[in-house]
Amino acid sequence: MLQKPKPQNTKAIARSFLLGVAKAAGGTVLGITMITSAVAAGGLAGLAFSFRNLPDVRVLRDYVPAETSYVYDIKGRLLTSLHGEANREIASLDQVSPELKLAVLAIEDSNFYRHQGLNPYSVARAALTNYRQGGVSEGASTLTMQLVKNLFLTRERTFSRKLAEAILAIRVEQVFSKDEILEMYLNNIYWGHNNYGIQTAAESYFNKSAAELNLAEAATLAGLIQAPEQYSPFLNYSNTKIRQAAVLARMRTLNWITPEEEMAARKAPLLVGRPTAWRQSKSPFITEAVTRELEERFGRDKVLQGGIRVQTTIDLNFQRMAQESIKENYNMLRRWGLRADQIALAAVDPRTHFVKALVGGVDYKSSQFNRAIQSRRQPGSAFKPFVYYAALASGKYTPDSTVDDAPVTYRIPGGVYRPQNYGGKDDFEGEMSLAESLIQSRNIPAVTLGKAVGLKKVIEICRILGIESPMQPVISLPLGSIGVTPLEMAGSFATFASNGWHSDTTIILQVTDSKGNILLDNTPKPRQVLDPWATATLTEMLQGVLEPGGTGAKANIGRPAAGKTGTTSSERDVWFVGYVPQLATAVWVGNDNYQSMGKGITGGDFAAPVWRSFMRKALKDQPVKYFPAASQFARP
């Protein structure tokens, strides 16, 4: 293992540096004056002592610069990038075009592969200029000196800082190879517009990787290093071309390119891209939800600086369809007299429980609140399938079992509770089958069933299906008197769609670091959590909801589908949650301030059309699939 340089080694470095300056200065008064000044300040030994506590450059072996994280959809399409101040993607040296390497060396340090961290002749030239100017006005930094300045030192323009820079540069050259130093340099320097590192610079300015840069583009980027914003093609294209020409001229002077190559590069137009830092997400509701989960798991610093790669479960095509459906139907429903300001949608694949689309509101720009995952609203009658499943799974009920739709009174703390049907206090049907009571969404039969099978059992089933929102076994629970999110509803109905097979609903499939090491893997682990007969029977009953006479007839999409409408008291929330074997989707419509949307507003009339619009688009090119028949399973 390398040992930390001892004081006498630092002393020798300082002496070498100062004598090198004097020699390069040709023994001028300047060289003698610099040495004399150092001695007057405490001598070479004192100078060496003052730099003995400089950072140990060996830490660079484990140094990982802040790197941008990227979020992709299920098919690898970029949704957004996440970063702090530094927008950076690391590139190895062999991932950088030879033209870029040559251009940078030509304009910044053409002797890079020949010196040992310092270029005495450049130091002497700069020292002479600074002596004449009476201050530090010109540097003589090699690439290595620039690197250590950026990583270890302040930007103050003082002689002592330049000495520290020189000493650290020599130490770096003793520990690292030239290629390692050049790679660190290219990945750390600032290229303008919040781009750090050559990879993000290439993508931002030219919409290509660093490996694909041609000579004209390479010379442009190399020219930015001195003053990125001044020479930015985004801000002043003519300045960019002037600086590019200077870089090309330097390369030709060094005989690194031919005059013909120089001229061709100067004439080549630059196909300028656009800044990639702080760009808006293609699906902001998605990336906001993903970012929240990532920060909970890994911490904010890891998300913004760790260079992680996140593959979400979202299908960007489905997401766009969902957004379009909400916007189109929002305007249509408003024309129909709906007084609602928001619609939210969540879609889940029953086969994997992957979230395929998530829309948290009508317009992200006007409101960033993600109602699909953050807003707990009463589901109303959309909650009833959990109660009916509990009844079927108990083995005591079938679709033909009867329940009395008649006035009923329950004693509760502080008084009595008399559930009513949607039609009011005189709306009763008497004895009716479970199937018909669900299709017509009768309230009193649902409350009766909930009481019979046990409200704690209903809550247990909800927990198995992934609903985590708070629930209490109150008598009104079967009517959806608790708050849940659209994503919880879509995820639980997805388990009905898969006939009882369940995986944890997730929006993130996999997370890796920038080197491909897996940090999180949410590969589905399906398990049978519901009784097959009871689930298939429930689905057969819920298919009737979409048929003529059912409360969700306006959700009919012309293929086998099941679902349930939901309307809360005073018309504050309306829902439609439904599924086909390939996709389960929940739609909620309402006001953020919980105001009523108007008398007579129902989930069947105003949420079902939104559901139908999205499902038709999402399933347009998908084959028709059928649910399993309950008759093929043994009754519990």
Q: Report in angstroms the alpha-carbon separations of 46 from 12, 30, 268.
A: 12, 21, 55
Is the pLDDT confidence value at 127 over 60? no
Q: Please calculate the CA angle 500-501-503 and round it to the nearest 5 degrees.
A: 130
- 510-540 as b/e: b if 16+ CB within 10 A: bbbbbeeeebbebebebeebbbbbbbbbbbb
Q: How far is CA 216 from CA 205, 210, 241, 268, in A?
A: 12, 13, 10, 7
Total Cβ atoms within 10 A of residue 298 = 16
The count of C-alpha atoms lying within 13 angstroms of the C-alpha of 522, restricted to the half-sphere facing its C-beta, is 20
Assign 37 a pLDDT band (cuts: 50, 70, 90).
very low
pTM higher than the cut 0.85: no
CA–CA distances in Å: residue 225 to residues 137, 140, 185, 243, 258: 18, 15, 11, 11, 23
- Helices of type H across 441-531: 443-453, 455-464, 486-497
Question: Domains, the chain, ranges and CATH?
Answer: 321-632 (3.40.710.10)
424's tokens: 């009011």
Instruction: Mention every residue, 6+ apart, whose C-beta is less than 8 A from residue 628.
Output: 499, 532, 536
Residues 110-136 have a mean pLDDT of: 68
Residue 423 has a pLDDT of 81
Alpha carbon distance 372, 347 (integer Å): 10
What pLDDT does 414 receive? 86
| CA dihedral sign of residues 481, 487, 488, 494 | positive
pLDDT grade for 26, boundaries at 50, 70 and 90: very low
DSSP designation for 84 = S
pLDDT tens, 197-253? 899 899 889 989 999 999 999 999 999 999 988 999 888 889 999 999 999 999 999
- % residues pLDDT > 70 (the chain): 84
Task: Look up residue 421 and give its two tokens.
Answer: 């049907």
In the numeric block, the tokens 């129909």 are attached to 336
Residue 448 half-sphere exposure, CB side, CA atoms within 13 Å? 23
Question: Residue 550's pLDDT is what?
Answer: 94
| 565 band by pLDDT with thresholds 50, 70 and 90 | very high
- Rounded to whole angstroms, the Cα distance separating 165 from 177 reads 18
Select from 225, 43, 57 the least CA-distant residue to 141: 225
pLDDT digits (tens, 9 = 90+) for 380-412: 999 999 999 999 999 999 999 999 999 999 998
Phi, psi of 195 (to 5 degrees): -95, 120
Is the pLDDT assigned to residue 489 strictly greater than 90? Answer: yes
What is the pLDDT at residue 278? 53
Give residue for tokens 């992957």: 354
CA distance 496 to 132: 83
d(CA 348, CA 476): 28
* Residues 592, 594, 599, 604, CA torsion sign: positive
Report how far apart, in Å, the C-alpha atoms of 28 and of each of 18, 22, 130, 501 are: 13, 7, 14, 86
pLDDT at 46 over 50: no
Nearest to 92 by CA among 189, 194, 208, 199: 199
Query: For residue 135, what pLDDT is reported?
Result: 46
CA–CA distance, 95 with 422 (Å, rounded to integer): 67
Residues forming the active site: 108, 381
Confidence of residue 10 (pLDDT cuts 50, 70, 90): very low
The pLDDT confidence band at residue 52, using thresholds 50, 70 and 90, is: low
Find the mean pLDDT for residues 607-625: 96
Of all residues in the chain, the percent with pLDDT exceeding 90 is: 62
- Between CA 361 and CA 327 the distance in angstroms is 9
Query: CA nearest 487: which of 470, 464, 504, 509?
Result: 504
* Distance, CA of 408 to CA of 472 (rounded, Å): 21
Distance CA 304, CA 299 (A): 9
- Any idea what DSSP says for residue 527? E
User: What's the mean per-residue pLDDT of the chain?
Assistant: 86
Read off the pLDDT of residues 142-171 as tens digits, 9 standing for 90 and up: 999 888 888 876 556 556 666 777 888 888
Task: Choose from 18-32, 158-172, 363-377, 380-394 the range with maximum mean pLDDT.
Answer: 380-394
